[in-house]
Structure 1
Amino acid sequence: MSGILLIAYKLLTNDKGKFFSLLIGITFAVFLMVQMTSIFAGILNRSSATVANIGADVWIMDPAVNTVANTIPLPDYVLDAVRSMPGIRYAVPLYSGGALVKLSSGAYQAVSILGLDDTSLFGRPELEQGNIRDIYAENGFIVVKDSEYQKLDSPKIGTEFEVNDHRGVIVGIAKVSSGGLFGVPTLYTTYSRAVQYLPSTRYTSSYILLQLKTRDAMPAIRKEVAKMGYLALTKEDFVQRISDFYTYRTGIGTNILLMTVMSFIVGLAISGQTFYSFTLENLEKFGALKAIGAKSRELVSMILFQATFTALTGYGLGVGLCALLIFIAQHLLPDYASLITFGNLGLAFAMVVLIAAVSSYISIRKVLRIEPFDIFRG
């Protein structure tokens, strides 16, 4: 069998033009599939960045909330009622809102402000510079050093700015595990300062964050919160809710799906046509092998080997090219949201296998019908 496969390899690579056409077709298809799905994965990852960065076990919110940015304030009695429920270690409010800050240069920049519970500072980010206690100082804010950091003129500790005619001072520089999606810098401060500085409605709690004593308490808490007309979601459930919103209720999911399907069709068309043309040109060679005793299963093995070798080589080149492009783009464009996951790679691999299967099936049918007599008579 190794001799048969060696012949198959030489037949495949003998015509370098057609071989590289096959590789380019599959590589291009894989590149597009991985690129499109990676952009979508990056968008979903950044859309739930606040949930990941805060790290609360349970989020309580209005049922109409679909994303972290789409906040609907909760009445004060909800916090009091939740704190009295069994199975809860503690519950704290979180303020989440947007503001327009005036920088020392005179420029204006939109920001996202998160107000942490004054007592516990639950959800506080990890600081690279500064002391977390300084957030209690007059006008204290902590800035997140992410891809949007430069939009605030790369502030240092002690940098001043204005927010809604109030003075603000940077007292700390923090890092987070994931940057936001909407292209605005993030500032942290205390809950009371956020409510004081920013205009708000009658209610000010955007979310209520819970830490549970045990996960077994979650069903009862969910039921009690539902009786008040609100929603209690675990961190994982909230991330999934955000993902579902962007996937099914916006045009992002549909557009990415269409682009992925188009990439698959392009790869299937190019590789199928080229591989079939390659088989036709080598039909005499397959007939000669059959005449000297090669069995049908050996001819099938040759075609499957050729299709598999080409598909896997194109898959590796496509993934490598996509990874290289994402690496370069993220260095040149910090806001570029793209993330290669095992799911992306698995989907692209499954489609490449399908492309190889269809291409080889068309060629196998042609080869199995060949008769050595017809070849030598021609």
Structure 2
Amino acid sequence: MKGILKIAYKLLVNDKGKFAALLVGITFAVFLMVMMTSMFSGILHRSSATVLNVGAKVWVMDPAINTPANNIPMPDYVLDAVRSINGVTYAVPLYSGGALVKLRSGAYQSVTVIGLDDSSLYGRPELLEGQIEDIYGENAFIVVKDAEFPKLQNPRVGTEFEINDHRGVIVGIARVTTSGLFGVPTLYTTYNRALQYIPSTRFTTAFILIEPKNTTAIPYIKQQVKALGYEALTKDEFIQKTSRFYKYQTGVGTNVLIMTVISFIVGLCISGQTFYTFILENLERFGALKAIGAKGRELVYMILFQASFASLAGFGLGIGLACLLITVARLRMPSYAAMTTYTDIGLAFIMVLIIAGISSYIGVRKVLKIEPFDIFRG
């Protein structure tokens, strides 16, 4: 068997042009598939940036909410009712809204304002500069240093700005685990200051953040919150709900799926055609092997080895090229959202196996039909 596979390898790489064309086709298909799925993974990851950055274990919200960016304020009594539920260690309100900031240059910039509970500051970001206690100072805000930070003209501690005709002062610069999706800078302040500075509706609590006593208390908390007419989700459940919204209720998921299928079809057509041409050009060699005693099973192993070797080599090259391009793009463009996950790589690997299987089937059918008599007669 080792000798047969060695012959198969030499037959495959002997024609460098055909082998290169086969690799290019599979590499290009894998590259496109990984780029499209990585872009979609990055979008889904950033769409849940608020949930990831705040880090609360349980979120209470209106059932109609699909993403953290779209919130429906709840009455104040909901917070009191949630705090009275058995199993809740503590519950705090979270403000989340948009505002327009006037910068030092006179330019205006939209921002997302996160209002933290005044007493606990639950969900506060990690500070790079400044002290968290300074957020209680007059007109104090903390700015997040992420991909959107330059849009605020790179403010420093002490930088002043206007927000809805109110004076604002940067008292800290923070970092978060995930940047937002919509290209809007983020400011943190206290809950009451957010209500004071930003026009709001009659109800103001966007979300209620719960710290349960233990994980076994979460189902009971969910049940009690549901009885109030609202919804309680764990952090992972909220992220999944956001992902499902973008996958199935927007055009993003459909467009990415179509492009991924097109990439698969392109790779299948190129590799299938090239591999079939390779088989046709080597029919005499396969016939000679059959004439000197090679069994049909051994010829099938040869075809499978050749298709698998070419497909896996193209898979590795495609993954490497896609990861390299994504890394360079993220270094040059911090707002670039693509990220490669194990799911993306696994999906590309399954697609490559399908390509290898179909290419092998085409070659096997042709080789098994060959008769040594026809080869030598020619």
Following the alignment from structure 2 to structure 1, what is the Cα–Cα distance between the partners of residues 331 and 55?
A: 28
Aligned to 2:350: 350
What pairs with 1:97-108 in structure 2 (closer than 5 Å)? 97-108=97-108
Deviation at 1:227, TM superposition (A): 1.4
Aligned to 1:150: 150
Aligned to 2:118: 118
Deviation at 1:192, TM superposition (A): 0.5
SS at match of 1:323: helix
Aligned to 1:137: 137
**Percent identity over the alignment?**
69
Aligned length: 378
Q: CA deviation digits over 1:267-318, x for unaligned, max 9?
A: 1111011101100110000000111111112111111111011001000110
Following the alignment from structure 2 to structure 1, what is the Cα–Cα distance between the partners of residues 227 and 312?
A: 55
Following the alignment from structure 1 to structure 2, what is the Cα–Cα distance between the partners of residues 362 and 288?
A: 20
Aligned to 2:20: 20
The normalised TM-score by structure 2 is: 0.99
Deviation at 1:233, TM superposition (A): 0.7
1:204 equivalent in alignment to 2:193 = no
Q: CA deviation digits over 1:101-140, x for unaligned, max 9?
A: 0011111110000000000000000001110000000011
Aligned to 1:228: 228
Aligned to 1:63: 63
Deviation at 1:217, TM superposition (A): 1.3
Following the alignment from structure 1 to structure 2, what is the Cα–Cα distance between the partners of residues 92 and 306?
A: 61
Deviation at 1:242, TM superposition (A): 0.2
Deviation at 1:162, TM superposition (A): 0.4
Aligned to 2:309: 309
Following the alignment from structure 1 to structure 2, what is the Cα–Cα distance between the partners of residues 16 and 213?
A: 65
Which amino acid in structure 1 is aligned with residue 274 of structure 2? T
The normalised TM-score by structure 1 is: 0.99
1:263 equivalent in alignment to 2:269 = no
SS at match of 1:223: helix
Following the alignment from structure 1 to structure 2, what is the Cα–Cα distance between the partners of residues 172 and 200?
A: 25
Aligned to 2:168: 168
Per mean C-alpha deviation after superposition, the further-off stretch among 142-151 and 331-340 is 331-340
Following the alignment from structure 2 to structure 1, what is the Cα–Cα distance between the partners of residues 131 and 228?
A: 39
1:334 equivalent in alignment to 2:338 = no
Following the alignment from structure 1 to structure 2, what is the Cα–Cα distance between the partners of residues 69 and 367?
A: 59
Deviation at 1:165, TM superposition (A): 0.4
Following the alignment from structure 1 to structure 2, what is the Cα–Cα distance between the partners of residues 171 and 65?
A: 32
Following the alignment from structure 1 to structure 2, what is the Cα–Cα distance between the partners of residues 11 and 234?
A: 57
Aligned to 1:32: 32
Which amino acid in structure 2 is aligned with residue 129 of structure 1? E
Deviation at 1:13, TM superposition (A): 1.1
Deviation at 1:95, TM superposition (A): 0.2
SS at match of 1:128: strand
Q: CA deviation digits over 1:6-26, x for unaligned, max 9?
A: 111111111111111100100
Which amino acid in structure 1 is aligned with residue 278 of structure 2? F
Which amino acid in structure 1 is aligned with residue 237 of structure 2? D
Which amino acid in structure 2 is aligned with residue 212 of structure 1? P
Please list every run of at least 4 consecutive aligned residues from structure 1 whose deviation after the TM superposition is greater than 6 angstroms. none
Following the alignment from structure 1 to structure 2, what is the Cα–Cα distance between the partners of residues 373 and 69?
A: 72
Following the alignment from structure 1 to structure 2, what is the Cα–Cα distance between the partners of residues 237 and 115?
A: 23
Following the alignment from structure 2 to structure 1, what is the Cα–Cα distance between the partners of residues 35 and 110?
A: 30
1:246 equivalent in alignment to 2:213 = no
Q: CA RMSD in A?
A: 0.7
Following the alignment from structure 1 to structure 2, what is the Cα–Cα distance between the partners of residues 224 and 50?
A: 25
Which amino acid in structure 2 is aligned with residue 182 of structure 1? F
Following the alignment from structure 1 to structure 2, what is the Cα–Cα distance between the partners of residues 94 and 7?
A: 68
For structure 2, the residue ranges without an aligned partner over 5 or more in a row are none
Following the alignment from structure 1 to structure 2, what is the Cα–Cα distance between the partners of residues 23 and 220?
A: 56
Q: CA deviation digits over 1:72-114, x for unaligned, max 9?
A: 0000000000101100010000000000100111111100000
Deviation at 1:349, TM superposition (A): 0.2
For structure 1, the residue ranges without an aligned partner over 5 or more in a row are none
1:43 equivalent in alignment to 2:43 = yes
Q: CA deviation digits over 1:353-373, x for unaligned, max 9?
A: 010000001101111111101
Aligned to 1:193: 193
SS at match of 1:69: coil
Which amino acid in structure 2 is aligned with residue 330 of structure 1? R
Which amino acid in structure 1 is aligned with residue 13 of structure 2? T
